[in-house]
Amino acid sequence: MLAFLDFEASSLGKHSYPIEVAWIFEDGRSEAHLIRPAPGWTDWDAGAEAIHRIARDRLLAEGAPHEFVARRMIESLSGHDLRASAPSWDGKWLSTLLRAAGLPRHSLRLRDSDEAHRECAVAILRPVVPADRLATAVDDLLARTELRAPGVAPAHRALADAEEERARWLAVAAAARALAEGRP
């Protein structure tokens, strides 16, 4: 099953670490966790905090232990097709979290959610769109189903951003089905 995942982090620096993670399955089940920093996780950027609006003190007071979050992710997400809008960044933070919990850093793998959107459109349209026009039809459909207006930033909260990726995937599927059925 597809699961859309997102992290928020302490910064975009080399020593950044995950502070929040959320995922939502294609069927709508979701989880979100604030992450209490592991010992040694000290990197903090006030600019990043201004964007995600999660204070380090809040993580210390309300965050779940990093080991718990890592184990919960393995328990919930193993065997699923994990997608993220920024898989290189989210993969870095996933790896940081898993390593800090003493778990293999490749226990979970992320792929790009844009690929999930494209794969969904192709699967629905391939039977009804001629092969020589399929790529163009998919590109057009993906452009039409972009949910966020140009220049509008994501929410920068893990669950809201993961939900947005799922909503886009659902919009792509609905638009592709409509096109396959001859509806504009």
What pLDDT band is residue 118 in, cutting at 50, 70 and 90? very high
DSSP sequence for 30-45: EEEEEEEPPTT-----
pLDDT digits (tens, 9 = 90+) for 6-23: 999 999 999 999 999 999
State the chain's maximal CA–CA distance in angstroms.
Answer: 57
**pLDDT for the residue numbered 24:** 98
pLDDT digits (tens, 9 = 90+) for 122-163: 999 999 999 999 999 999 999 999 887 677 777 899 999 999
**pLDDT for the residue numbered 153:** 76
CA 156 to chain centre: 11
- Distance (Å, whole) CA 73 – CA 57: 24
What pLDDT band is residue 184 in, cutting at 50, 70 and 90? low
**pLDDT for the residue numbered 148:** 74
In the chain, helix, strand, coil percent, each to 5?
A: 50, 15, 35
**pLDDT for the residue numbered 166:** 97
Kindly list the structural domains of the chain, giving each domain's residue range(s) and its CATH number in brackets, ordered by start.
2-110 (3.30.420.10), 113-180 (no CATH)
Query: Considering the chain, what is the average pLDDT of its residues?
Result: 95
DSSP 150: T
The residue whose two tokens read 């140009």 is 150
Higher pLDDT: 183 or 171? It is 171
64-65 and 110-112 strand pairing: unpaired
DSSP 152: P
Q: Look up residue 43 and give its two tokens.
A: 């990197």
pLDDT digits (tens, 9 = 90+) for 36-76: 999 999 999 999 999 999 999 999 999 999 999 999 999 99
What pLDDT band is residue 97 in, cutting at 50, 70 and 90? very high
* Global confidence as pTM: 0.93
